[in-house]
Amino acid sequence: MMAGMAAVLIATSNAGKLRDFAAAAQEHGIVVDALPGFSSLPPVAEDQPTFEANARKKAEIYSRFAPDAIVLADDSGLEVPALGGAPGVRSARYAAHSPEENASDAANNARLLAELKTVVEEQRQARFVCVIVAAGNGKALASFRGEAKGMILHAPRGSGGFGYDPLFYFPELGKTFAELSATEKARVSHRGKAFRKFLEWMEKGGSR
């Protein structure tokens, strides 16, 4: 780790997110860990109207369980203009039967494809958005936003990644996010971009 850098913990039990963060951090010689005992902590309802508000709420609450550490929480999702910005903040719950529960990746992808069934190629643009909030001792310190623009395919491609990655085609590399290596994805993904902004903030002494 960088000299004088506080412990950086991620408030998530999502293995895919942890892999994304770890890959982005590795290039900077930084190790990130999941917040200890995260799975046993009371879940925080993601009931806010924006990615930033959800991330801020989670970061502030979860950082109270790790005194003096920098705790990161993110909210991220897919926005499709042809669907009025959906799935948006409901990306993990797009195909769920109730607003409190998440749906499987397969179910969410199936609903997305169904919603876009009659949408022509030129209107299948989409973007992944990630907002990371850093917090310490229950107080939000800073937020960082990253975006990645692409297209939604008619069928999934690739076996890597998670969520909507198999449907999200990234033109610059000619692959879906599910076809990228962890290193490739860290360089171009919304989560990698947001995380690098956090690292720049840390390197400038932002936590002090």
Q: How far is 135 from 63, CA to CA, in rounded Å?
A: 6
What are the C-alpha distances in Å from 95 to residues 50, 111, 120, 167? 19, 6, 22, 16
Residue 170 tokens read as 């990234």
Residues 80-139: pLDDT tens digits? 999 999 999 999 999 998 877 899 999 999 999 999 999 999 999 999 999 999 999 999
pLDDT level of residue 207 (50, 70, 90 thresholds): low
Q: What is the DSSP letter of 98?
A: S
Q: Which of 65, 90, 68, 62 has the alpha carbon at shortest distance from 77?
A: 90
Q: What is the pLDDT of residue 68?
A: 87
> How does the average pLDDT of the chain come out, rounded?
92
Return phi, psi of residue 185, to 5°.
Answer: -65, -40
Return phi, psi of residue 75, to 5°.
Answer: -130, 135
Catalytic sites, residue numbers: 75
Residue 157 tokens read as 């491609």
Q: How many CA atoms lie within 13 A of 11 on its CB side?
A: 30
Tell me the mean pLDDT in the region 174-201.
Answer: 94
Q: What is the pLDDT of residue 1?
A: 40
| pTM higher than the cut 0.85 | yes
Domains and CATH numbers, the chain: 8-203 (3.90.950.10)
Q: How far is 55 from 133, CA to CA, in rounded Å?
A: 6
- What pairs with residue 139 in β-bridges? 136
Q: What is the pLDDT of residue 172?
A: 96
- E strand spans, the chain: 8-10, 33-34, 70-79, 125-136, 139-152, 168-170, 175-176
pLDDT level of residue 7 (50, 70, 90 thresholds): low
Q: For the chain, give the number of residues.
A: 208
